Amino acid sequence: METVLEDHRDIPASANEPVLVYFSSVSGNTHKFVDKLDAESIRLPLRTGEDTILMDRPFVLCIPTYGRPRSGGAVPPQVMKFLREPKNRALMLGVIGAGNTNFGELFCIAADKIAAKCEVPVLYKFELMGTSDDVARVNEGLKAFWTQNFQLSK
């Protein structure tokens, strides 16, 4: 785990509770998953035209993979807009991906792409709205991850 966190991250020593920033389309699968977690959560705007969110605390990003093969991206445009803010990227600790294994090698590819681009770990992948096991594992994992993070950043 130690190798994961880089010193360049701008992490305040406050805020000990896990925070999730997430995107969910009108079908709401990711929203339903995040809603079941014991973590504060902030939903990114549905429309690309709306102003994005500026974070002032460390967070984990939770996103589905978009499916518009001809118009390019697996990463939802609303998520790209959010990540174009340098401060948001600096505060991002990791990514959780939502998807469906039916998409084969594209399963949760948006999470993989963001992780590679922003040099953060993919923490977890789940399908559709997640099972109760997924919820339990992510709850436990986020708590431990947060604790470890702040100890290490001190």
Partner 1 sequence: MMSEKVELVHNVEAINWNRIPDEKDLEVWDRLTGNFWLPEKVPLSNDVQSWATLSDEEKQLTMRVFTGLTLLDTIQGTVGAVALLPDALTPHEEAVYTNIAFMESVHAKSYSSIFSTLCSTKEIDEVFRWSRENEFLQKKANIIMDYYQGDDSLKKKVASTLLESFLFYSGFYLPMYWSSHAKLTNTADLIRLIIRDEAVHGYYIGYKYQRGLETETEERRQELKDYTFELLFELYENEVAYTHSLYDGVGLSEDVKKFLHYNANKALMNLGYEAMFPSSVTDVSPAILSALSPNADENHDFFSGSGSSYVIGKAVNTEDEDWDF
Residue (of 110, 90, 92) closest to 100 by Cα position: 110
Judged by CB, which is closer to partner 1: 14, or 71? 71
- By CB under 8 A, tell whether 147 contacts partner 1: no
List CB contacts of 28: < 8 A, sequence separation 6 or more. Answer: none
Q: How far is the CB of 104 from partner 1 (least distance, A)?
A: 5
Rounded CA-CA distance 120/39 in Å is 20
- By CB under 8 A, tell whether 31 contacts partner 1: no
Judged by CB, which is closer to partner 1: 15, or 80? 80
Pairing of strands 92-99, 59-64: parallel
- By CB under 8 A, tell whether 97 contacts partner 1: yes
DSSP string, 75-136: S-HHHHHHHTSHHHHHHEEEEEEEE-GGGGGGTTHHHHHHHHHHT--EEEEEETT--HHHHH
Binding mask 106-145 for partner 1 (x = CB under 8 A): xxxx--xx-xxx-xxxxxxx-xxx-xxx---xx-xxx-xx
Reduce the DSSP state of residue 9 to 3 states and report it: coil
Of 11-19, 37-45, 51-59, 89-97: span binding partner 1 (CB under 8 A): 89-97
Binder to partner 1 among 8, 49, 102, 151 (CB under 8 A)? 102
Binder to partner 1 among 25, 38, 48, 152 (CB under 8 A)? 25
Rounded CA-CA distance 136/130 in Å is 10
Contact residues: partner 1, CB under 8 A: 3-4, 25-29, 32, 67-75, 77, 80, 83-84, 86, 89, 94, 97, 100-109, 112-113, 115-117, 119-125, 127-129, 131-133, 137-138, 140-142, 144-145
